[in-house]
Amino acid sequence: MTPVALERVLLVGFMGSGKTSVGRLLAERLGWRFVDFDDVVESEAGARIAEIFRAAGESGFRALEAEVAERLLSGRHVVLGSGGGWAAAAAGRLDEVPSGTATFWLRVSAEEAVRRAVGQPGQRPLLDRPDPLEAARRLIEERAPRYGEARWTVDTDGSSVEDVTAGILAILAREYPDSLPD
């Protein structure tokens, strides 16, 4: 049987799990492009995430995100950073991604996620609450089973972007030995 060639990598996980920073470095190492779902949603809507939530509600945002995701998931030689809620939303089924997609859950604790997210106000309306830690705990607990549909889980608490990226590259080298650039 011919092994499936690696076409793209999809990173899922909660806000602050490092999808963007790890995704960028991973793409650089692979010589591929990095594309972040949120960036494409913002540029197509012509508005920041927080504004989309205000104007169209979370459901309006999810509809745009689902459309963008479907398109990006047909790209080749690309590392995709999903938004933190995509994999848990109705449209974000990880068991339906196209073949050739290596899926990783970057796992983060609520405490670490909130620490990392503090530097980016406005982009994370769901944590823009009086008690963001409580909100993060609740969302992570709710979403964990869906994130867990990713093929591999990589813990990120206490790990650098370089370490997490190296861990992913090691898995890719083992699983897709013929598909990686030299």
Q: Which residues bind ligand S3P (CB under 6 A)?
A: 15, 19, 38, 49, 83-85, 123-126
Question: Up-side HSE of residue 120: CA atoms within 13 Å toward CB?
Answer: 17
Least distance (Å) from ligand S3P to the CB of residue 149?
16
In 37-179, at which residue ranges do the beta strands (DSSP E only) sit? 78-81, 101-107, 152-155
Burial of residue 66 (CB within 10 Å: 0-12, 13-18, 19+) is middle
Are 18 and 164 spatial neighbours (Cβ–Cβ below 8 Å)?
Answer: yes
Interatomic CA distance for residues 121 and 147, integer angstroms: 24
Identity of the residue, 32 or 61, whose beta carbon is nearer to ligand S3P in the bound complex: 61
Give the shortest CB-72-to-ligand S3P separation in angstroms.
Answer: 13
Write down the least CB distance from residue 50 to ligand S3P, Å: 8
Minimum CB distance to ligand S3P smaller for 49 or for 72: 49
- Note whether 6 and 102 are within 8 A (CB): yes
Nearest-approach distance from CB 1 to ligand S3P, in angstroms: 36
Q: Which is nearer to ligand S3P, 123 or 159 (CB)?
A: 123
Residue closer to ligand S3P (CB basis): 58 or 175: 58
